[in-house]
Amino acid sequence: AMAAPAPTKEAGPSIGWDSHKAVDSVPESLVRGVEGNESMRRRFEKACREAQIAICKAVEDCDGGAKFHSDAWVRADGGGGISMVLKDGKVWEKAGCNLSVVYGSMPQEALQAATERGVDRAKGLKPGERVPFFACGLSSVMHPRNPHCPTMHFNYRYFETEGGAWWFGGGMDITPSYLNTEDMTHFHGTLKRVCDKHDAAYYPKFKKWADEYFLIKHRGETRGLGGIFFDDQNDKSPDQHFAFSEELLQTVTEAYLPIIEKHKDDAYTEEEKKWQQIRRGRYTEFNLVYDRGTVFGLKTGGRIESILMSLPETARWEYDHRPVEGSPEAEIMEAFKSPREWV
Amino acid sequence: AMAAPAPTKEAGPSIGWDSHKAVDSVPESLVRGVEGNESMRRRFEKACREAQIAICKAVEDCDGGAKFHSDAWVRADGGGGISMVLKDGKVWEKAGCNLSVVYGSMPQEALQAATERGVDRAKGLKPGERVPFFACGLSSVMHPRNPHCPTMHFNYRYFETEGGAWWFGGGMDITPSYLNTEDMTHFHGTLKRVCDKHDAAYYPKFKKWADEYFLIKHRGETRGLGGIFFDDQNDKSPDQHFAFSEELLQTVTEAYLPIIEKHKDDAYTEEEKKWQQIRRGRYTEFNLVYDRGTVFGLKTGGRIESILMSLPETARWEYDHRPVEGSPEAEIMEAFKSPREWV
């Protein structure tokens, strides 16, 4: 059922706007049958799918109201995806967790948008020649209702190009509307513990990378209070990189859900809700203007509803809004303007 | 007071994030004193300023509630702006009309973002060399409260580069949430009448240009129901192009306000309001991902609050929203998918 022509360097855009076909039952694998069960493609897909099921289950239990709705689709040229989306929950306004498997070819510029060292990835290709690639990843954004509950995002992905280049990338970050130091110590501390098990250099490096990556440049402020971000990881064995990604996928709920359990019943005012909406406007600005995954998805003809699942249900823009000096809103703005160490 | 060093080709970014200084009184002109009152720079600024005052007055009268708040600022390296913003009106949730005068130098890539024929504008410059320019324009976006009242946008601008190249650009377009053919005939008909007075080729050419420009490419749908759009106009005398821009500026209220007067008291349901919010999500997507003025402003360090004044007060994203077949929402979607002729 997944048979499709292999993408070639000569092909035009291999992914069109209407190339996503909904399927009624979730396929066991979206990776092409020919890859073999031991391939990193299959192994990474399996780790993502298992994490998707476990995370969505834990989030449903925490929400106690809405359930995730699942959409599966295949693409005309191979690959496909499974979107899991929860709406109108008791705790979450909107939460999504998407698995995607892409066989495609992309313009070299899109490759640059997809990686930090894009130019190296296109080595050996003539200018204008398209780059055939495989990508598999799990992406998630969860926007809670209560302004004292932070928004969370993670994405872990594995890439291969036809030329045999491969790399791992990903990260997880948190976006509160109000500052709670204890929560940030828990979140960053959990990520640091996993990083340290794999490489003592990881946390400081990837924490800084997140602070730089999640910057809304035109405002000189970060989207949230960071986490970790990494790309182009291929300096160890594939097994070592895989083990790190797999453990990070398994740590998502531990890093995030205790913060939600703690604050999901916090009282809040209309003004606090409005501030959360303004911060969601900033979230939207970051995602549409700078986010590499979003830009990559829009440029390569990804499934729009899955890509833009990351946008909040509602957002707000007030002209020249400035928090009152000394207020909790001004307090967290300071942390957005100058990233801090939390652990 | 406006003295500033002339931008040079060697200079780094001449406009920084903090180079906007608020001023207490509105200066008579933001164009440098040395230009002379007869210069096109001064004449265009005067036409914009007069239109800004007249349009804001007419909108206030129509609103019957809120008033425009005015912010003036100057930039460290010359130029400045006057933002006029109305919030929480009876009729409009948010309406802005901004005059800006910019003396700057921009990377050649920003010039490409600013014009259709960007490459020609950079002729004679070495790769990487910055392009000193002057720009003056009036920009406006008005988002009404009632879902039966359309959002309106216009922008008219005049550019010069140091090398003596000059061009006029601009346009006006309308974004309803519901289709009313009579209103579209009035809006497009008014623009066509002005276009026809200046050149019979203008309306068909500029109407098509707007349909192409205001396309949300990743969705395959337009932002609204079009209008006119043009750029790089310099094939006639400066006086002829100026006369066309000036008349368009003077026609804004006639093209837009009768539609608002007609619908401002229309009854509407919560569902209709929600659909308007979803369309405002699309408006946000277009502005942050594709709009040339927004991208140009963000890249050249423009005043963020003035650039993003164009965003709606509130917007909404629902996962995989699809209008019910045969509904008024589905009816206008057809027009967004396949642009029509209205006159």
Distance CA B295, CA A38 (A): 45
Query: B316 — contact with chain A (CB < 8 Å)?
Result: yes
Catalytically active residues of A are 153
Query: Quick one: tokens of A252?
Result: 């998502």
> pLDDT grade, residue B285 (50/70/90)?
very high
Query: A265 — contact with chain B (CB < 8 Å)?
Result: no
- For residue A15, the model assigns a pLDDT of 40
Whether the predicted pLDDT of A132 surpasses 60: yes
B319–A284: do the CB atoms touch at under 8 Å? Answer: no
Q: Which chain B residues are within 8 Å of A281, Cβ to Cβ? A: 311
> pLDDT grade, residue A17 (50/70/90)?
very low
Whether the predicted pLDDT of B76 surpasses 90: no
Quote the distance between the C-alpha of residue B19 and its chain's center. Answer: 23
- For residue A191, the model assigns a pLDDT of 98
- Min Cα distance A118 → chain B (Å) is 19
B80-84: long-range contacts (C-beta < 8 A, 24 or more apart)?
B80/B2, B80/B20, B80/B23, B80/B27, B80/B30, B81/B30, B81/B303, B81/B306, B82/B26, B82/B30, B82/B49, B82/B52, B83/A319, B83/B303, B83/B305, B83/B306, B83/B309, B84/B52, B84/B56
> Mean pLDDT, chain A, as a whole number?
88
- For residue B12, the model assigns a pLDDT of 36
B313–A316: do the CB atoms touch at under 8 Å? Answer: yes
State mean pLDDT over A268-296.
94
A319–B94: do the CB atoms touch at under 8 Å? Answer: yes
Quote the distance between the C-alpha of residue B316 and its chain's center. Answer: 22
State mean pLDDT over B243-254.
98
Residue among A151, A218, A276, A289 with most chain B CBs within 10 A, to mutate? A218
Q: Which chain A residues are within 8 Å of B285, Cβ to Cβ? A: 288, 308
Whether the predicted pLDDT of B145 surpasses 50: yes
| Chain B residues 167-226 with CB within 8 Å of chain A | 217-220
- For residue B94, the model assigns a pLDDT of 95
Highest average pLDDT, of A96-110, B13-27, B329-343, comes from: B329-343
Residue among B317, B321, B322, B337 with most chain A CBs within 10 A, to mutate? B317
Whether the predicted pLDDT of B9 surpasses 50: no
- Min Cα distance A151 → chain B (Å) is 16
pLDDT, tens digit, 9 for 90 and up, residues A179-234: 999 999 999 999 999 999 999 999 999 999 999 999 999 999 999 999 999 998 99
Question: Nearest Cβ partner of A219 from B96, B217, B304?
Answer: B304
> Mean pLDDT, chain B, as a whole number?
88
Query: Quick one: tokens of B91?
Result: 């009729």
A311–B317: do the CB atoms touch at under 8 Å? Answer: yes
Determine which of A24-38, B270-284, B308-322 has the lowest per-residue pLDDT on average.
Answer: A24-38
pLDDT, tens digit, 9 for 90 and up, residues B29-56: 888 877 777 799 999 999 999 999 999 9
The percentage of residues in chain A with a pLDDT greater than 90, rounded to a whole number, is 69
Pairs of residues, one from chain A and one from chain B, whose beta carbons lie less than 8 Å apart: 79
Does the pTM surpass 0.95? The reply is no
- For residue A269, the model assigns a pLDDT of 98
* Of residues A325 and A108, more confidently modeled: A325
Query: B94 — contact with chain A (CB < 8 Å)?
Result: yes
Q: What is the DSSP letter of A327?
A: S
- For residue B124, the model assigns a pLDDT of 67
Distance CA B178, CA B328 (A): 7
- Min Cα distance B310 → chain A (Å) is 9
Cα separations in angstroms, A139 against A96, A129, A307, B301? 8, 29, 9, 32
Query: A48 — contact with chain B (CB < 8 Å)?
Result: no
Q: Which chain B residues are within 8 Å of A315, Cβ to Cβ? A: 284, 314-316
* Of residues B130 and B106, more confidently modeled: B130
Question: Nearest Cβ partner of B87 from A217, A277, A319?
Answer: A319
B149-153: long-range contacts (C-beta < 8 A, 24 or more apart)?
B149/B91, B149/B259, B149/B260, B149/B263, B149/B264, B149/B266, B150/B174, B150/B175, B150/B176, B150/B177, B150/B183, B150/B224, B150/B225, B150/B259, B151/B175, B151/B176, B151/B224, B151/B280, B151/B283, B151/B312, B152/B256, B153/B310
Highest average pLDDT, of B64-68, B129-133, B298-302, comes from: B64-68
Whether the predicted pLDDT of B206 surpasses 50: yes
- For residue B195, the model assigns a pLDDT of 98
- For residue A128, the model assigns a pLDDT of 76
> pLDDT grade, residue A123 (50/70/90)?
low
> pLDDT grade, residue B204 (50/70/90)?
very high
Nearest CA in chain B to A216: B298
Question: Nearest Cβ partner of A96 from B220, B289, B319?
Answer: B319
